[in-house]
Amino acid sequence: MVFVKQCVNIYMQGDLRSDQGSSSADAHPAAPPPIMAQPSEEFQPLDRRVVRLWRITRTISSTVLLIIASVILTGVSAGFPGLAFLLPYAIGALFVLLVFSVIWYPPRAYRAWGYRIDSKVIEARYGVIFHSTHLLPLNRLQHVDIHRGPLDRAHGLSSLLLHTAGSQAATLVIPGLDQGEAKRLRDHLVEIGGDDAV
Amino acid sequence: MPFEPEPPRLPPLNAPDVPPVIGAVPPPLPPDSDAKRLHPMTLFFAGWGVVRGWLIPIVIFLFVGRYELLTFLAFMAGLQIVFSVVRYFTFTYRIAGAELITREGLIQRHERNIPLDRVQDIKIEQGVLHRMLKMAVVQVETAGGKGAEATLSVLSQPDAEQLRRLIFERRAIVRGKGAETTEPQPEQPAEIIRKLELKDLVMAGLTSNRMASVIVLLGAVWAFADDVLGEKAYIRMQQAIEQWFAQLATYDLQTTIFLFIFGAIGIILFSMIISVIGSVVLFHGFTLVRHGEDLQRSYGLLTRRTASLPRRRIQVLQIQEGILRRLFGLAAVRADTAGSPAGDGQQSGHDSLLPIIPKDELGTLMPVFFPNFDNEQPDWRRVSRVAIRRGTLKGSLLLLTLSAILSFFYGQASLWALIFLPAVYLINVLNYRHLGYSLGAEYFQTRRGWLKRSTHVVPIRNIQSVVLHQNPFDRRHRVATLIVDTAGQTYTGGGPRISNVAMKDAVHLARLLSQQASQRRLQW
């Protein structure tokens, strides 16, 4: 148990979440000049209902995946009779993994998600195992889409798609926003951003 | 004969006169031009295309004696010719208001309107036949989209140049800000920035790594031989090669080694000759000219290409030095615009702003590409020292795996490969020293590589977004990968990306970059 705690500690250290987590060992000639203060806005979480939404979508995709994988594995094991005894274990392991991803993953992903908008930049962070932070200058916005799938609608949620003219990271998707909030955000972003569309 | 930028001529009669732009009030646009057809020579080129496309199959079928397929070929060729004729008689283009309008189609009418202020680049291309007949292909490109938005093939050479001038002039008017017109105005003198001599191009060919392309070529020839020559010849050839190898085995070791070295040198020489020829044919008579804001390149021995690039449209600039080029102090400069299409860069040379240039001349050239480039030495910052450790670990693991595989097949003697372990460490230290980023007043730069180096220059006003990534290992070492995204990164190897930046610096840098970008207006 101690070992697990240590692992968790290591896991959490030097995390995108803790901006102060500096490392004195990585001495630099000099830090870049401090032109700006820390952003004033706090990170906003997504709508709490998104956890349930993600659980449902993950259950659906996991079930499909499990069925396909079982069919393939059964087919393969027919070709290798010596290894056929492994089949239930393989499917069982996959099942456990998928259950884990349905139960454990969505709350983590929810906690990992955060976004903040000040007058100039929108900053979004996300990712449970691979952390990412995406910073998007608001006047680079080309257009903003609201996307609502059937499950989104059932939960009263929307996704916001922020498009820039970039190439590899051209679109930032903020999922799981309350539909009213998404509209408000969209109007706000369209109003302050986008003065230099292509 | 190199194709010099022509001195400005009087506008032809049918070209509307562009009034001078005064003050903030945009002048009215000149009257619309009538819908025009392509040059009648289009039909000839269409026919030539069909002949060229089917000639080789026809010859092969005649040779092999499969005459029954010839009727099918004739039918296909005929169909193609009918299509081309229909296309010629239905295709029209005109400039109306602020748009270029192309229209084609007999049954399904297809009309395309291209707003002139979205036009990024107009390319004029001439193959050997085009040049003999004074014809040209015009390609109009806008931001986004794959490839050219409109391809006019073919126009007469004067028509092509006139069209380009017309589009650029109108675009300047459409933009309204006549004062900072970006396009070649007739009265603006052309300033020749750089001409490449034959010896530069030979040097470019010698230092480019085209070994791989030669091997690919040989492979293709072999596969082709397999397809065309038929079973018997193929087997005979294989036997010959086997015999040759058998003969080789009868020689003593010394002769074998000698022959191998001789063969290797032969292959290298051959590849060098190929790449020199390739470089000379592609870039012969390379001239980079500046008309006001417009950088114009024209080059090519057989196919003559002219491409113009307004310099403020450069999204990312890459200075690339391969191993050999670094030894000789040479570099190649590539640039991306928002419209760079994927794919065609290498073989058409559109990706190269300058195919070869002595490194020390770049200092004087950078202000030509970026007018406000701070020419002081960039203040390079290093990433976290963790980079050395991680790189060494990765390299050692690779080496260990390789030597394990080798020793599995060739016995334990192969473990000698492990003597390279210190070299792995050394290379990582050197790479670390040459890895860095620099944040200037208007430009962000990254560089990487010790043996071969790649430097990216991004004007901060062109930054579209900044992304930080951390995988679990990155988190452990408290570092992150910083990616700067811009519009168009096809020619510059994916734009700037720098790994192992200490997390604290990375977050700070990312915020700084995005804030500074948000304070600048992006101009297309």
Asked if residue A151 has pLDDT above 80, the reply is: yes
Contacts 24+ apart (CB under 8 A), A93-97: A94/A66, A94/A69, A95/A66
Give the closest-approach CA distance of A19 to chain B in angstroms: 6
A124, pLDDT greater than 90: yes
Dihedral pair phi/psi, residue B381, rounded to 5°: -105, 150
Q: Please check whether residue A24 is in contact with residue A155, taking contact to mean a CB–CB distance below 8 angstroms.
A: no
Chain B residue numbers with beta carbons less than 8 Å from the beta carbon of A194 are none
Q: Kindly list the residues from chain A whose CB atom is less than 8 angstroms away from the CB atom of residue B511.
A: 36, 39, 121, 123, 135
- A122 and A179 share one domain: yes
Mean pLDDT of chain A: 79
Long-range pairs for B345-351: beta carbons < 8 A, 24 or more residues apart: B345/B490, B345/B491, B347/B282, B348/B125, B348/B305, B349/B282, B349/B283, B349/B299, B349/B300, B349/B305, B350/B123, B350/B305, B350/B307, B350/B491, B351/B490, B351/B491
**pLDDT-wise least confident of A4-8, A106-110, A135-139, B341-345:** A4-8
B-facing residues of A in 36-55 (CB < 8 A) are 36, 39
Q: What's the Rg (C-alpha) of chain B?
A: 28
**A173 vs B121, more confident:** A173
Is the separation of the CB atoms in B488 and A170 below 8 Å? no
Residues of B in contact with A30 (CB under 8 A): 381
Q: Name residues whose C-beta falls within 8 Å of residue A149's C-beta, 6 or more positions apart in sequence.
A: none
- Alpha-carbon distance of A161 to A175, in angstroms, equals 8
pLDDT surpassing 90 at residue A54: yes
Q: What is the pLDDT of residue B344?
A: 56
Rounded to a whole number, what is the distance in angstroms from the first to the last CA of chain B?
35
How far apart are the CA of A71 and the nearest CA of chain B, in angstroms? 33
Which tokens is A51 given?
């956890």
Domain assignment present for A137: yes
DSSP secondary structure letter of residue A30: -
The answer to whether B502 contacts A28, with C-beta atoms less than 8 Å apart, is yes
Domain match, A121 and A103 both: no
Question: Residue A33 falls within a domain, yes or no?
Answer: no
Q: How far is B140 from chain A (nearest CA, A)?
A: 16
- Tokens, residue B48: 């030539």
Structural domain contains residue A9? no
Measuring CA to CA, which residue among B326, B300, B317 is closest to residue B209? B326
User: Which among B163, B183, B161 is positioned nearest to B117, based on CA atoms?
Assistant: B183
Q: Which domain holds residue A188?
A: 116-192
Q: Is A118 helix (H, G, I), strand (E, B) or coil?
A: coil
Rounded to the nearest angstrom, the minimum Cα separation between A6 and chain B is 12
pLDDT for res B390: 92
Q: Which residue is listed with tokens 């009263």?
A: A156
Q: Is residue A22 part of a domain?
A: no
Q: Are residues A161 and A143 in the same domain?
A: yes
Domain assignment present for residue A150? The answer is: yes
A138, A120 contact by CB (below 8 A) = yes
Taking CA–CA distances from A26, the nearest residue in chain B reads: B384
Tens of pLDDT, residues B215-237: 655 666 665 555 555 566 667 77
Are A23 and B504 a contacting pair at CB < 8 A?
yes
Q: Which residues in chain A are closer than 8 Å to B446, comparing Cβ atoms?
A: none
- Is A161 inside a domain boundary? yes
Q: What kind and span of H or E run contains B99?
A: strand B99-104
**Contacts of residue B438, Cβ cutoff 8 Å, sequence gap at least 6:** B378, B379, B380, B381, B444, B445, B446
* Spatial contact of B35 and B330, defined as CB atoms under 8 Å apart: no
Measured between alpha carbons, how far is B291 from B286 in angstroms, rounded to an integer? 16
Q: Do A131 and B523 touch (CB under 8 A)?
A: no
**Rounded to an integer, what distance in angstroms lies between the CA atom of residue B429 and that of residue B389?**
9
CA distance A21 to chain B (A): 7
Q: What percentage of chain A reaches a pLDDT higher than 90?
A: 47
**Side chain identity at B433, as an amino acid letter?**
R
Residues B341, B141: Cα–Cα separation, whole Å: 9
- With tokens 């560089």, the residue in question is B447
From chain A, pick out residues whose CB is under 8 angstroms from the CB of B504: 19, 21-23, 31
Asked if the bond preceding B154 is cis, omega within 30° of 0, the reply is yes
What is chain B's pLDDT, residue by residue, as a tens digit (524 residues)? 444 444 444 334 343 444 444 444 555 667 777 888 899 989 998 888 888 888 887 787 777 777 777 788 888 888 888 988 998 999 999 988 888 888 888 887 888 888 887 777 788 888 888 888 899 999 888 765 556 778 888 899 899 988 888 888 888 777 764 444 444 444 467 788 889 999 999 888 888 765 655 565 566 666 555 555 556 666 777 777 777 777 766 777 777 778 888 887 887 788 788 888 888 888 999 999 988 788 889 998 888 888 888 887 888 999 988 878 888 889 999 888 876 665 555 667 777 889 899 998 888 888 888 888 866 678 899 999 999 999 999 999 998 888 888 888 777 766 777 788 888 899 899 999 999 999 888 899 999 988 888 999 999 988 999 999 999 999 999 999 999 998 877 777 778 899 999 999 999 999 999 999 988 887 66
Q: Which two tokens stand for residue A169?
A: 């990271």
Strand ranges (E), B251-310: 287-291, 294-299, 304-310
DSSP code string of B183-232: S--TTSPEEEEEE--HHHHHHHHHHS--HHHHHHHHHHHHHHHHHHHHHH
Count of domains forming chain A: 2
A165 and chain B in contact, CB less than 8 A:
yes
Residues A144, A188 share a domain: yes
Both A124 and A102 in one domain: the answer is: no
What DSSP element (H or E) covers A147? strand A143-147
Closest chain A residue to the Cα of B477, Cα to Cα = A14
DSSP class of B152:
E
Tokens at residue A157, please? 């949620």
d(CA B521, CA B524): 10
Gyration radius of chain A over CA positions: 22
Query: CA nearest A163 in B: which residue?
Result: B464
In the predicted structure, residue A3 carries a pLDDT above the cut 70? no
Higher per-residue pLDDT: B62 or A99: A99
Which residues make Cβ contacts (< 8 Å) with residue B344, sequence separation at least 6?
A: B147, B350
Q: How high is the pLDDT of residue B69?
A: 76
In a domain, A144, yes or no: yes
pLDDT score for A107: 94
pLDDT, position A26: 38
Structural domain includes residue A177? yes
The residue behind tokens 């296909």 is B76
Q: Which of A69, A26, A64 is nearest to B478 (CA)?
A: A26
Residues A148 and A81 occupy one common structural domain: no
Contact at CB, A31 and B480, closer than 8 angstroms:
no
Residue of chain B whose Cα is closest to the Cα of A172: B465
Give the HSE-up count for residue B357: Cα atoms under 13 Å, Cβ half-sphere: 24
- The answer to whether the CB of B512 falls within 8 A of the CB of A49 is no
**Minimum Cα–Cα distance from B500: chain A residue:** A26
Yes or no: say if B297 and B193 are a contact pair by the CB < 8 Å rule: no
- pLDDT tens digit sequence for B43-71: 998 888 888 888 887 787 777 777 777 78
Q: Which helix (H) or strand (E) holds B335?
A: strand B330-336
Q: Which of A120, A167, A189 to mutate to test the interface with B (most CBs of B within 10 A)?
A: A167
pLDDT at A157: 93
- Strands B453-459, B443-448: pairing is antiparallel
* Nearest residue, CB atoms, A167 vs list B477, B485, B516: B485
Say how many C-beta atoms besides its own lie within 10 A of residue B329's C-beta. 12
Residue with the two structure tokens 């005894």: A85
Dihedral angle of Cα B371, B375, B378, B379, to the nearest 10 degrees:
-110
The pLDDT of residue A45 is 93
pLDDT of residue B230: 56
In this complex, which of A39, A165, A170 lies closest to B511 when CB atoms are compared?
A39
A35–B512: do the CB atoms touch at under 8 Å?
yes
Q: How near does any CA of chain A get to the CA of B466, in Å? A: 5
Q: How many angstroms separate the CA atoms of B502 and B387, rounded?
A: 10
Higher local confidence (pLDDT), A60 or B415: A60
Q: Which residues contact B116 (CB under 8 A, 6 or more apart)?
A: B95, B98, B99, B100, B167, B170, B171, B174
Measured in whole angstroms, the distance separating CA B362 from the mean position of its chain's CA atoms is 19
Token pair listed for B456: 């990216």
Half-sphere exposure of residue B279: CA atoms within 13 angstroms, side-chain side: 26
